[in-house]
Amino acid sequence: MTKRPLRFGLIGTGRIGMVHAASIAASPNAVLSWVCDPFIDGAKSAASVYGGTVTDSADEVFASGEVDAVLIASPTATHIDLISAALDAGIPALCEKPIDLDIVRVEGLRARVASSGVPIALGFNRRFDPGFAEARARVAAGEIGDIEQLSIISRDPSAPPAAYVGVSGGIFRDMTIHDFDMARFFVSDIVEVSAVGTRTFDAGAREHGDFDTAVTVLRAASGAIVTITNSRHSAVGYDQRIEAFGALGMLQVANQGTSLVSVSTATAVESRPPYQDFFLERYAGAYAAELEEFVKLARGEASTSPTFDDGRAALILADAAQRSAEQHTAVAVDLS
Amino acid sequence: MTKRPLRFGLIGTGRIGMVHAASIAASPNAVLSWVCDPFIDGAKSAASVYGGTVTDSADEVFASGEVDAVLIASPTATHIDLISAALDAGIPALCEKPIDLDIVRVEGLRARVASSGVPIALGFNRRFDPGFAEARARVAAGEIGDIEQLSIISRDPSAPPAAYVGVSGGIFRDMTIHDFDMARFFVSDIVEVSAVGTRTFDAGAREHGDFDTAVTVLRAASGAIVTITNSRHSAVGYDQRIEAFGALGMLQVANQGTSLVSVSTATAVESRPPYQDFFLERYAGAYAAELEEFVKLARGEASTSPTFDDGRAALILADAAQRSAEQHTAVAVDLS
Amino acid sequence: MTKRPLRFGLIGTGRIGMVHAASIAASPNAVLSWVCDPFIDGAKSAASVYGGTVTDSADEVFASGEVDAVLIASPTATHIDLISAALDAGIPALCEKPIDLDIVRVEGLRARVASSGVPIALGFNRRFDPGFAEARARVAAGEIGDIEQLSIISRDPSAPPAAYVGVSGGIFRDMTIHDFDMARFFVSDIVEVSAVGTRTFDAGAREHGDFDTAVTVLRAASGAIVTITNSRHSAVGYDQRIEAFGALGMLQVANQGTSLVSVSTATAVESRPPYQDFFLERYAGAYAAELEEFVKLARGEASTSPTFDDGRAALILADAAQRSAEQHTAVAVDLS
Amino acid sequence: MTKRPLRFGLIGTGRIGMVHAASIAASPNAVLSWVCDPFIDGAKSAASVYGGTVTDSADEVFASGEVDAVLIASPTATHIDLISAALDAGIPALCEKPIDLDIVRVEGLRARVASSGVPIALGFNRRFDPGFAEARARVAAGEIGDIEQLSIISRDPSAPPAAYVGVSGGIFRDMTIHDFDMARFFVSDIVEVSAVGTRTFDAGAREHGDFDTAVTVLRAASGAIVTITNSRHSAVGYDQRIEAFGALGMLQVANQGTSLVSVSTATAVESRPPYQDFFLERYAGAYAAELEEFVKLARGEASTSPTFDDGRAALILADAAQRSAEQHTAVAVDLS
């Protein structure tokens, strides 16, 4: 018997909310039932394309009796309350990262999430990127032996507006948080964080005391070392690479090109067009796969969706990196 | 004002027909209105997924008054009659290649197509492949100067069933026909065809006197030389490459990989997973773009759809190649 | 016991003669004993760097009693007489390609070479290129199954002076002759030649009725097809690639880059510097290896040096290609 | 007027000493005059191939009056005394890295080197690697803007014997020292060192409390961040890569392949043979170029040879890395 599509309430219709709206509409296993945004025009616009009842009140969504799951794509500061509301209503939620910028608030909710039995997933979409997922599966299959070194390169095409930098929580909580989760995707037993951050080009970072350039080194109990290289800009396009090194060899995930065409001339050979511009292009497939996996979680089936605890672990690593970069010392972490 | 989607009648629901059905269903500019197949179960199956009224009679489609265009994906032997019926009904048609295996029948219809004013397009989907289209646009922009040599490599993953080989019209009319059109896409003034064919591995080719391996060389009036390399099998996967060489340099269109992951070990470095299996994967985007371009043609807008005359030219080249390979001599052609 | 280095007489001190002089000087198994050039200043110049007694008379070299082998690097028209002289003197010779531009003269010498017992090698240096030699060895080891298609791309960086074109014997005998030998290095049983030649850019080719652009297709008794793609110019640098295709896969020999550095910017990624300029750079190692192998031949040891008969076979193929391109027909060949 | 070749005294005939002996013999600007090794058989063996008078006493070399320069390739512990002897004799010296494992001894000699006027060069051969040198020149030319991030990957093929690890001074002073110099070659204003080291596979590292795996992060006053990734083993072969990232793009120096041949089959495409085994192969050209540059230095000509102070700076960085890895804190450095 075919299962009934999961009825989604989407909360937040900004850039990432619209990505999820499209994924829900495209999935045979999901349907957009309610669309909520305090900016009601945003909700209306989303609903006009992808369907759903419109509201500016999240409470109305939870109370509607017409949603089987919520997708929380609203500003970070609202995540904790919305997850709480989902727990109250007993409705599974897929929440965008990060859970919150304040680990105290995260820890405050943790026990309740654990005891509630309500599935809460975190939007670490990169776990569902075909390249990263394939690399991890091949590592797990032993193709290169145990990981001894993992390099994650993650550079955005250009720095966000200065105003955004000011409320972002800093590069580690805002941008590296994805890489921290990716690090844990490959290497689970991280015990120490060392970070170096500088500001070399971005006025917003200078204005708000943030970094625009950073390297974070994570040490695992096993002896594995993870290196995360971040920059807030990249002339070449969105730079997203992973290299896993073990005793038997190396697995490399390359950037996604935008064309199969290369040109060779008297001055250069095999020049290819630049990489994809940004995450909407690079991770389009990952967002769709993320949704499918959450549908399984919400239905109580076996699922690999990242959890609330994955979101908490990434934030702990981000906090440690922030402290390490500020105090110029390694910071021990306990992710248990 | 948004235009009303074009109502399609699909004739033929085999493998390629289903590709077109999916393209029509996915396009905002097209809708599947009628589905026709003498094997009525095929038509029903297609309609159950993509919609449309079902029939086993093409006449009924043309008479329905409910189709703005037809997509002819039935067996080759039916193409001429169905194009004729489309002309009779004044309904634009997108017909799968080849028009027919017999150039006499094609020439017989040519004047009528030309004078009818009814748009007839040929399904040379590769013109819409992003890589080939980009290469051609860059050639046209003068990036490598005039083309002096063009190499087209086109190898299928595995030979078709022997029964199919027997009715295929031979490798040149069945398989190379796509490459002949691609040759003309880059080099328009071809005047001579030299072909060498052998049979080395395929029992079907041996049984039916066909070739499984062929190299065809086309000479253009400009002095440009096109080389087409064909094989009915390829262990590596679907091998579809183009290399355009001019006075200023070289443009190369590579095969499409299936993964961003490479592995390096003690025995080999940078090994990547094999290429895509076959045309459904490699040319998925091309089929969609082909449909959009045909919609423009059917609406009387500017369009780059390949025409009936493109289909005729490819068949003339295929016939010449067949004769050249059999008689071991170059064959002059007149494509005007 | 270490063997005494072979004492060489070098005949001809043009560009290629100087390459051989350097190889002889650098080899622990060879020493330059005599240097001969009718332009005595050339001989003196070579001897001043690499040693040896100078003469303008080849007869003197053969009569000196001080040479164990000769290296014939003089103009093509002198090769037959110098090989004859070597046979008379019982002195092994390594002769640059081609033996002669006239197959009748080559056939006239053939029986004498065969019955003489004096080792005569031909300078098909590319057999000793590490990449081509590795590819052939791996083919021979069965890595890709029997060869079904072989593609040889061979483009010079720029056309020779018009005067040279006039005496070169034409592109097939002058340039493709290397590729004919390479074809036979991989596929031995060639039975038919089809060639297409055009002149599109080179004034010298136009003036002398030669081609500057050519594609030659060779058919083997086994059904294997070899395609040779030639151009007298290449903006990208010396273009020398081989691709061998068999039932189990494909072996590709790439061009030699000049740098390990690539650059990625906002307009292009992974751009690398152009290929090596010409044969002196690309085949430097091949010339040295060719000499070592000839030393073995001259000493009566097992050797893979190409022979007089290899030179004859390449010329037969060149003649057939010339005739095919002129008469627009395939030409059968008998290389036995 | 051609200059007389520089007469070298070579001190030390181990593996690296023999590399230098060959470079000296091959250079038109250098000749091997004396060869010294307390293991006299080593000296004799070197001299039998490359020439020179043999001795087991370095004093005898300096006193001979027959050397214009010395090349110090003896064990690290002897470097300080031999440099001192060179200063006493007024003879220029090219000394293998490191100067010493004890920075106090290095600082003790520093003023004397500076005031002596005797050229002392350090054997940081990688500066002369064509790829690294090209990348640095292109950075200096502004091709990618100022460096913001530099990644140096440096992995040896396999761990040294445990006994060697015990006297090596640790991975940072023994292996990373080359990378510290390479970091300064690209980024001169380093002010802070953070290192993470682990031991995961090498019994020698465990036995002697050394690391076999390390990541070092260097912060520059400019805000540039350098990441050095080291491993004592690499299944793939000698892994030596550099990636320089700036506002305008990225320069990458790839590993040197060992073959132009790639193979594609049903299970993997474009597989190439592993990288070169170790430094003797990868840096062969660099050693020769290093010697030529030292000859200029010894002759008082303009030279880019790394200096005693470069050797000192690398050791300071190594000491700081060692401390950082042991104490889990960043360490400020002053290289002035």
The pLDDT tens digits for A248-301 are: 999 999 999 999 999 999 999 999 988 888 888 889 899 999 999 999 999 999
To the nearest whole percent, how much of chain A has pLDDT over 70? 99
Residue D205 has pLDDT above 50, yes or no: yes
Q: What is the pLDDT along chain C (336 residues), one digit of tens a residue?
A: 457 899 999 999 999 999 999 999 989 999 999 999 999 999 999 999 999 999 999 999 999 999 999 999 999 999 999 999 999 999 999 999 999 999 999 999 999 999 999 999 999 999 999 999 999 999 999 999 999 999 999 999 999 999 999 999 999 999 999 999 999 999 999 999 999 999 999 999 999 999 999 999 999 999 999 999 999 999 999 999 999 999 999 999 999 999 999 999 999 999 998 888 888 888 989 999 999 999 999 999 999 999 999 999 999 999 999 999 999 999 999 999
Identify the three-state secondary structure at position D19. helix
State residue B1's pLDDT score: 41
Residues from A contacting B (CB-CB < 8 Å) are 130-131, 134-135, 138, 143-144, 248-256, 259-266, 270
Cβ D269 vs Cβ B270: under 8 Å: no
Assess whether D172 and D315 both reside in one domain.
yes
**Residue D261 with chain C: CB contacts under 8 Å:** 131, 134-135, 138, 251-254
Assess whether A106 and A168 both reside in one domain.
no
Q: How far is A265 from chain C (nearest CA, A)?
A: 5
Chain segment B96-137, per-residue pLDDT in tens = 999 999 999 999 999 999 999 999 999 999 999 999 999 999
Spatial CB neighbours of A201, under 8 Å, sequence gap ≥ 6: A159, A212, A213, A232, A233, D148, D247
**Of the candidates D218, D192, D224, D184, which has an alpha carbon nearest to the alpha carbon of residue D309?**
D184
B288 within a domain of the structure (yes/no): no
Residue in the block written with tokens 């350090």: D122
Alpha-helix residue ranges (DSSP H) falling in chain C: 15-26, 40-50, 58-63, 79-89, 103-116, 130-140, 162-167, 171-174, 176-186, 203-208, 279-282, 284-298, 308-327
C246 within a domain of the structure (yes/no): yes
B297 within a domain of the structure (yes/no): no
Residue A17 has pLDDT above 70, yes or no: yes
- Out of D235, D268, D274, the one facing B274 most closely (by C-beta) is D268
Residue in the block written with tokens 């960085």: D317
To the nearest whole percent, how much of chain D has pLDDT over 90? 94
Q: What average pLDDT score do residues D245-266 get?
A: 95
Assess whether A102 and A131 both reside in one domain.
no
Domain boundary (A73, A99, A118) is at A118
Q: How far is CA D219 from CA A156, A200, A213, D332, in A?
A: 21, 12, 11, 9
| Cα dihedral C107→C113→C119→C124 (10° resolution) | 0
- Asked if D236 and B264 come within 8 Å (Cβ–Cβ), the reply is yes
Cβ B20 vs Cβ B291: under 8 Å: yes
A106 within a domain of the structure (yes/no): yes
Residue in the block written with tokens 């097992």: C302
Cβ C135 vs Cβ C254: under 8 Å: no
A301 within a domain of the structure (yes/no): no
Residue A2 has pLDDT above 60, yes or no: no
- Out of A265, A271, A274, the one facing C235 most closely (by C-beta) is A265
Distance CA B20, CA B70 (A): 11
Residue in the block written with tokens 């005898």: D60
**Residue A135 with chain B: CB contacts under 8 Å:** 261
- Out of B235, B271, B275, the one facing D271 most closely (by C-beta) is B271
The CATH code of the domain that includes D38 is 3.40.50.720
**Residue A267 with chain C: CB contacts under 8 Å:** 274
Long-range contacts from A322-329, C-beta under 8 angstroms, 24+ separation? A322/A170, A322/A172, A322/A173, A322/A195, A324/A193, A324/A194, A324/A195, A324/A216, A325/A172, A325/A195, A325/A196, A325/A197, A325/A211, A325/A214, A328/D192, A328/D194, A328/D329, A328/D330, A329/A194, A329/D328, A329/D329, A329/D330
What residue in D sits closest to A155 (Cα-Cα)? D245
- Asked if C149 and B199 come within 8 Å (Cβ–Cβ), the reply is no
**Residue D274 with chain B: CB contacts under 8 Å:** 264-269
Residue A1 has pLDDT above 50, yes or no: no
Q: What are phi and psi of B235, to 5 degrees?
A: -60, -30
Q: Chains with 3 or more CB pairs closer than 8 angstroms to D? A: A, B, C
- Asked if D201 and A247 come within 8 Å (Cβ–Cβ), the reply is yes
Mutate to test the interface with D, among C132, C240, C261, C262 (most CBs of D within 10 A): C261
Assess whether B22 and B105 both reside in one domain.
yes
Residue D59 has pLDDT above 60, yes or no: yes
- Asked if C261 and D252 come within 8 Å (Cβ–Cβ), the reply is yes
**Residue A149 with chain D: CB contacts under 8 Å:** 213, 215, 229, 231
Distance CA C69, CA C94 (A): 8
Cβ C157 vs Cβ C233: under 8 Å: yes
State residue C2's pLDDT score: 58
Distance CA C134, CA B134 (A): 35
Q: How far is C62 from chain B (nearest CA, A)?
A: 47
- Out of A235, A257, A269, the one facing C274 most closely (by C-beta) is A269
State residue B130's pLDDT score: 95
B17 within a domain of the structure (yes/no): yes
- Asked if C265 and A235 come within 8 Å (Cβ–Cβ), the reply is yes
**Residue C135 with chain D: CB contacts under 8 Å:** 261
Cβ burial of C213 (10 Å; 0-12, 13-18, 19+) is buried
Chain segment D111-144, per-residue pLDDT in tens = 999 999 999 999 999 999 999 999 999 999 999 9
Residue A227 has pLDDT above 60, yes or no: yes
Of residues A318 and C258, the one with the higher pLDDT is: A318
The CATH code of the domain that includes D314 is 3.30.360.10
Q: What are phi and psi of A144, to 5 degrees?
A: -120, 15
Residues from A contacting D (CB-CB < 8 Å) are 146, 148-149, 151, 155, 192, 194, 196, 198-201, 213-215, 217, 219, 222-225, 227, 229, 231, 233-236, 245, 247-250, 328-330
Residue D1 has pLDDT above 50, yes or no: no
Q: What average pLDDT score do residues A190-211 get?
A: 97
Assess whether D101 and D160 both reside in one domain.
no
Query: Which DSSP symbol is given to C204?
Result: H
Q: What are phi and psi of B331, to 5 degrees?
A: -125, 125
Spatial CB neighbours of D167, under 8 Å, sequence gap ≥ 6: none
Identify the three-state secondary structure at position A248. coil
D85 within a domain of the structure (yes/no): yes
For the record, the structure tokens of B93 come out as 């048609």
What residue in C sits closest to B198 (Cα-Cα)? C223
Domain boundary (A83, A118, A153) is at A118
Assess whether D184 and D327 both reside in one domain.
yes
**Could you list the residue range(s) of the whole structural domain that residue D246 is in?**
127-282+307-332
Assess whether A214 and A114 both reside in one domain.
no
D293 within a domain of the structure (yes/no): no
- Span between the terminal Cα atoms of chain A, in Å: 40
For the record, the structure tokens of C176 come out as 């493709």
Chain segment B143-193, per-residue pLDDT in tens = 999 999 999 999 999 999 999 999 999 999 999 999 999 999 999 999 999
Residue by residue, DSSP assigns A39-61 as SHHHHHHHHHHH--EEES-HHHH
Q: What average pLDDT score do residues A128-151 get?
A: 97
- Out of A194, A215, A219, the one facing D198 most closely (by C-beta) is A219
Residue D173 has pLDDT above 90, yes or no: yes
Residue B280 has pLDDT above 90, yes or no: no
Q: How far is D233 from chain B (nearest CA, A)?
A: 12
Assess whether A36 and A185 both reside in one domain.
no
Domain boundary (B65, B86, B118) is at B118
Cβ A292 vs Cβ A285: under 8 Å: no
For the record, the structure tokens of C189 come out as 């049983």
Domain count across chain D? 2
Strand partners, D231: D155, D213
Q: What are phi and psi of A35, to 5 degrees?
A: -130, 125
Assess whether B101 and B156 both reside in one domain.
no
- Asked if A225 and D213 come within 8 Å (Cβ–Cβ), the reply is yes
Q: What average pLDDT score do residues A15-36 get?
A: 94
- Upper half-sphere CA count for residue D79 (Cβ side, 13 Å): 24
**Of the candidates A195, A193, A229, which has an alpha carbon nearest to the alpha carbon of residue A325?**
A195
State residue B3's pLDDT score: 77
Mark B186-195 as b/e (b = at least 16 C-beta within 10 Å): bbeebebbbb
Residue A221 has pLDDT above 50, yes or no: yes
Residue D65 has pLDDT above 90, yes or no: yes
**Of the candidates D240, D238, D53, which has an alpha carbon nearest to the alpha carbon of residue D135?**
D240
Assess whether C154 and C111 both reside in one domain.
no
pLDDT band at A185 (very low <50, low <70, confident <90, very high): very high
Distance CA C86, CA C291 (A): 17
Assess whether A198 and A313 both reside in one domain.
yes
Q: How many helices (H) and strands (E) does chain B have?
A: 13, 14
Identify the three-state secondary structure at position D171. helix
Assess whether A84 and A210 both reside in one domain.
no
Tally C-beta pairs within 8 A across A and C. 53
Spatial CB neighbours of B36, under 8 Å, sequence gap ≥ 6: B9, B10, B11, B12, B43, B54, B55, B56, B57, B58, B60, B61
